[in-house]
Structure 1
């Protein structure tokens, strides 16, 4: 039985084709920042995918049960790189209208699960 957690989150990009193209380029595998990838692994992120349409982003994140989205990176270098990354990404991102103050990625609510429907049939 898989005990991992799944998070589905949304965020908007600034509606500027040049900025959107730059954002996508930063997220290509060959452009990954190693310390950011390490921070995610250290935090308990097992898998992550980000999807794009227009100026909307959708993230699916699978984590260990112990994952704390508010935990600080474990190393000083990790903290510095995380702050650099977040500052850089904020040049491209804008909060959804439903976001709370200071919130970027907003967790979405699950409204349909085929596995649960199948159990009822």
Structure 2
């Protein structure tokens, strides 16, 4: 199993952050299905202030490119992603339209 870590910022607004967390207590079934069928076997999101940190453990067949293509063809996932942009901010230095940024591991014990 392979692990990926990604990060993203939220808008610095306590009300919006609370809403974002509420949405993640009731993620739409179509979004959960898209995660499960893509080869993501385990996913967790943590928050410190406005910074989010996601850990994904994926199957050997998982591909970011294939997940992006499948999501682009899924109207419900696109609706979810559009809704989440209300709460999210691009990280400094990220590409236009890029949300979650893949992190580089710099240490392992």
Q: State the TM-score, normalizing by the size of structure 1.
A: 0.83
**In structure 2, how many angstroms separate the alpha carbons of the residues matched to 1:57 and 1:84?**
21
CA distance in 2, matches of 1:59, 1:65: 19
State how far apart, in whole Å, the 1-side matches of 2:104 and 2:39 are: 21
**Which one has the largest radius of gyration?**
1
Query: Is 1:24 aligned to 2:24, yes or no?
Result: no
Question: What RMSD, in angstroms, separates the aligned Cα atoms of the two structures?
Answer: 1.3
The SS at the match of 1:73 is: helix
Find the residue that maps to 1:6 and give its secondary structure.
strand
- Superposition deviation, residue 70 in structure 1: 2.4
Gaps of 5+ in 2: none
In 2, are the aligned partners of 1:23 and 1:92 still within 8 Å (CA)?
Answer: yes
Contact 1:95 1:104 in 2 (8 A): yes
Say which of 102, 105, 110 aligns to 2:105: 110
Taking structure 2 as the reference length, the TM-score comes to 0.92
Give the number of equivalent residue pairs: 106
Match of 2:70 in 1: 73
Cα drift, residue 92 of structure 1: 0.3
Corresponding residue to 1:93 among 71, 77, 88:
88
Q: Write the distance in 1 (CA, Å) between the matches of 2:21 and 2:106.
A: 28
